[in-house]
Structure 1
């Protein structure tokens, strides 16, 4: 019975993603996504599956969801990446809106503070075919501290409704034990009435929000060193 229920829900998830979908992470898995390769809910958690994982988190005058949508993922193994390595991130693309501006950010405190680690302005995802899984690699800084982290992808589209898209994936970074990561705080544009407004690029004569991205605030995220467990070897 459980297998039948699970199969039915997964089938419904595919229908939901086609019916109301745009773009999200496919890998690493976004929180509570219905993709088959993602952590599965427990028997009492099926109602928490996010079948609208590809939808925007807000528009220029309305906030639909928090930036990460969910405060946690379903229990499961987080993918581990070395500091300095490139994550072979993949996006599930329904409509590319003629590209836009992407930001990738890391958080070590479950989304309270973020530091941008990579940008791709103006034509990010412009070449992503509709209905495709599109590769969009992101590099983890070589000096990134070790520990559980959240990788966030943000996207302001060039064409269509003035929206903000966001995907959060729980990962583990193997790097420096403690330390800090400096950069800029991400821009949350077209995310409610109090946020910066970025118009459609073609309609506005090429304005893609450069002035807002240039004004992002410098930030340093500090991660305390973790106390490593010492292995005691008994003497013979």
Structure 2
């Protein structure tokens, strides 16, 4: 029992180096992202910056009105949680920068239907792909995009990764950007906190919102900013935080052409039931990446104009009667199940040959993933996958670790 406890602590230490980072959009090269949360006192807000400036390795060129991919690496997904995508027109954001929300994901971010973590590999591609729409009528120009995350399980933390972007297209006036909601900040000593074990509903998520929540949605506690008309009512919880003054300062946005305020170039992605884990795939349309060593002074590559949206399809015919439930598939000769085939019970692990594994999530088997170097798993399907260190042969049991 004692050795298992010691090994569990070792597993927590390993997970601390496997927290999630954004891989798309491409983040700043300086500050070099660490894959942990912001400091609890907010000293490295925003963007994990401690005063050393910013350096652009790759600028993400995005067309206003397009839909952009959002992908992650790492395995310490902390049961998911809620995420926001926000924009500032400060290209070197500081503590006074104003961040405006363009997309909110309430529950199931950065992992859907995942009760704990996915392992301890910092380079593992998270098998859930997300996207976010860019408004059509905010100003074009250079800006910074932030991904922020309120984790569901583990310590009460706030994650923030930032990426440089060039927004192309006609755009709209500064007032359209100013009318967007303020980015929510929590767990960094600002009087706004979250309770462990819940998915979080944003007081003012904006017009573009998705939800992949599998449990209760609650508002954060405390001084969390004003509520908006799109905030809605949580399934359960504390009733929301008290209003706070809107943040000030920052250089704001450049002025642009006419616009209607908060317009998006198409409907937001539907809030469908969580899909089974995928193996990834090509990023969504509209995104181009260019590599630069210093801020460009000359013309930059812009995205091609988008084709007009297709006319709406006629109403679909009534669906046929549902087919009988598919029985769980039998394992292949190698001991694995074909990804995407039916499985039960939910959450079951399957170790294949001691060197790789997969999991039953959302009723289907995930893609096969390798175990960490220097370890082996106990072959077969079980509710708690057993891991041995190759060198010491001491057993470690996979649990939804905190950290």
- Could you state the TM-score of these two structures normalised by the residue count of structure 2? 0.42
Write the deviation string for residues 49-68 of structure 1: whole angstroms up to 9, x where unpaired: 44x2x211133xx3352221
After superposing on structure 2, the runs of 4+ consecutive aligned residues of structure 1 that deviate more than 4 Å are 210-214, 216-219
If each structure's strand is expressed as a fraction of its own residues, which one has the higher value? 1
Q: Which runs of 5+ in 2 are unaligned?
A: 1-13, 119-123, 199-214, 229-244, 258-297, 299-403
Q: Which moved more, 1:83-92 or 1:63-72?
A: 63-72
CA deviations on 1:156-186 (whole Å, 9 max, x unpaired) are 0111000000110001001335512121101
Q: Report how far residue 142 of structure 1 moved.
A: 1.3
The corresponding residue for 2:227 is 215
- 1:26 is aligned to 23
Query: Cα gap change, 1:26/1:215 in structure 2, threshold over 3 Å: closer, same or farther?
Result: same
- TM-superposition CA deviations, 1:88-134 (whole Å, max 9, x none): 12111321111111111001023311110000112222327723234
Aligned Cα root-mean-square deviation (Å): 3.2
Q: Distance in 2 between matches of 1:210 and 1:56?
A: 17
Matched, 1:99 2:109: no
Residues 195/207 of structure 1: CA separation in 2 closer, same or farther (3 Å cut) = farther
The corresponding residue for 2:125 is 132
Q: Tell me whether 1:69 sits opposite 2:28 in the alignment.
A: no
Who wins on radius of gyration, i.e. which is larger?
Answer: 2
| Separation in 2, partners of 1:93, 1:144 | 32
Higher helix residue share: 1
Structure 1 residue 143: deviation in Å? 1.1
Shift of 1:225: 4.2
Secondary structure at 1:132 match in 2 = coil
Answer whether contact 2:15 2:76 (CA < 8 A) is retained. no
Alignment-derived partner of residue 183 in structure 2: 186
Give the structure, 1 or 2, with the largest relative contact order (CA under 8 Å, sep 6 or more).
Answer: 1
TM-score by length of 1: 0.68
Q: C-alpha deviations, 1:167-211, integer Å up to 9, x for none? A: 10001001335512121101101112x330111035xx9463257
- Unmatched 5+ stretches in structure 1: 1-16, 34-47, 230-236
Among residues 91, 102, 116, which one is paired with 2:101 in the alignment?
A: 116
Check 1:223–1:81 CA distance in 2 against 1; reply closer, same or farther (3 A cut). Answer: same
Q: Are 2:193 and 2:220, in contact at CA under 8 Å, matched by a contact in 1?
A: no
User: Structure 1 residues 117, 63: closer, same or farther in 2, change over 3 A?
Assistant: same
Distance 1:90 1:72 in 2: 25
Match of 1:169 among 158, 163, 171: 163
**Aligned partners of 2:157, 2:246: CA distance in 1, in Å?**
24
* Alpha-carbon distance between aligned partners in 2 of 1:75 and 1:120, rounded to the nearest angstrom: 27
1:196 aligns with 2:189: no
Is the contact made by 1:158 and 1:208 (CA closer than 8 Å) also made in structure 2? no
What is the alpha-carbon distance in structure 2 between the residues aligned to residue 125 and residue 118 of structure 1?
A: 14
Question: Counterparts of 2:196 and 2:67 in 1: how far apart (Å)?
Answer: 31
Cα distance in structure 2, aligned partners of 1:196 and 1:177: 34
Indicate conservation of the 8 Å contact 1:32/1:49, yes or no. yes
Q: 1:144 to 1:177 in 2, by over 3 A?
A: closer
Cα distance in 1 for residues equivalent to 2:16 and 2:246: 39
Mapped to 2, the partners of 1:199 and 1:75 lie a distance apart of 36
